[in-house]
Chain A
Amino acid sequence: MEAPPVSVLPITGGTINMMEYLLQGSVLDQALESLLHRLRGLCDNMEPETFADHELVYLLKGQQGNPFLLRARRSLSHPTVPWHLRYLGQPEVGDKSRHALVRNCVDVAASHSLPDFLNEMGFRMDHEFIAKGHIFRKGVLKVVVSKLSRILVPGNTENTEPLSLSYLVELSVLAPAGQDTMSEDMRSFAEQLKPLVHLEKIDPKRHM
């Protein structure tokens, strides 16, 4: 049994800072099929992928400043798969002509003890929801069409109620910091989805 190589990973802010580029929109339930049909045509040829996830949003209230937010997501359709923990930073304020929302993103795969561990760290669950839908890919672009539902009884993922009569459509790319050409590629892809859905840069702060 060979020893794995002993290496030191460079954990510095710059080298492995990933950014998420995001455009969002929505379609009414009635329009879903047309959108899926167009996405099947535009995106990479692969088996249609559906998902059912349970997301819990945790907050850590510090002594000052805004609370620290973490999103913990687990698959309801694949219960043994690790949890996905995600940190999203503040949107980059900069070039107004940049077409997509850009923010720092850290994704961590974690074991099933994640909720207990977050509680021990001081995080408290703020809210939870179910997301069910479809995923498409085109190269590095990812399109997620999801129906969000609220959980009526905490902890019971069977008893849910849709939040709205529409599906959330998100076009996103994960890339190392500095690759600004991404938002151009995203914009031209988004053009091809008009008029079925209008994907735009949504400022999360305006909706808080």
Chain B
Amino acid sequence: MGVTCVCQVPLAEGKSVQQTIDILHKKLEQLSAVKQGNFTVDCETYHATGNASGQPTKLLYVMHNSETPLSCLALFEGGPCLTADGNFDVLMIKLKSHFQNAKGHKVESRGSRYRYCDFLIKVGAVTMSSSARGISVEVEYCPCVVPGDCWNLMKEFMQSFLGPSIPELPSVFATKPEGLYVPADCVDTMTQYLELFSKVRKQQVLPGTTR
């Protein structure tokens, strides 16, 4: 795994979520990217019960990524994170009296996975409670693990199919411009998805975009 950037892409003028995704797919295919299966990234939210009154409720996020199907990532926003195997979900069921699953807050991104030379591109429709909320694009440059070394190249590549809507340098990279990325456990990628999903949760439902 290499340096990965996850960003939200605005809808094309007058188009729906699916139509914008189709436009992106067409652009990728014109570049001669090859479709290689599907992907899904999801995030469930748990509220800690039993907090002393007056303290903000702690939110625990449990995320899954189809690239690592046997693992899950559990994290507190801005706090420690844990990589665990699939049984962590079973453990959370056992803990249901201490951590309640906010089922309505589950956000997921699902879509197609494309490969173009050394890049892996995933374009997904972000949904919450079955209503489409936006589009996520994940671009991974596989050969490199140092963000500072390849960010310009990634920006140039993203411009070739995203046009002007290319993102800024993700905040997870800002803390380690010359340092090693940690692709082995997907933490930086999932942190970016979490930021995107949190933004999407706060947005309103897009008009006319129920699935």
Contacts and interface: CB of A to CB of B under 8 A. Distances in A.
Interface of A: 1-7, 9, 11, 13, 16, 60, 62-63, 65, 68, 85, 87, 89, 106-111, 113-114, 116-117, 120-122
Given A1-B120, A6-B38, A85 B84 contact: yes
B39 interface: yes
A6 B110 CA distance: 10
Interface in B55-105: 58, 60, 66-69, 74, 76, 79-91, 93-95, 97-99
B123 to A, nearest CB: 13
B115 interface: yes
Secondary structure type dominating chain B contacts: mixed
Contacts of A89: 94
B206 to A, nearest CB: 24
24 contacts: A1-B115, A1-B120, A2-B36, A3-B36, A4-B66, A5-B66, A5-B69, A6-B38, A6-B69, A7-B69, A11-B93, A62-B97, A65-B97, A68-B95, A106-B87, A106-B91, A107-B87, A109-B84, A109-B87, A110-B83, A110-B85, A117-B74, A117-B80, A122-B58
Contacts of A63: 49-50
B185 interface: yes
Interface in B114-137: 115, 120
Interface residues of B, number: 40
Contacts of A11: 89-90, 93
Contact of A3 (B39, B48, B74, B94): B39
Nearest to A60: B98
A6 B50 contact: no
Nearest to A118: B82
A117 B113 CA distance: 32
Contacts, number: 95
Given A60-B98, A87-B91, A122-B50, A3 B81 contact: no
Contacts of A106: 87, 90-91, 94
A150 B3 CA distance: 45
B207 interface: no
Contact of A113 (B80, B90, B120): B80
B1 to A, nearest CB: 10
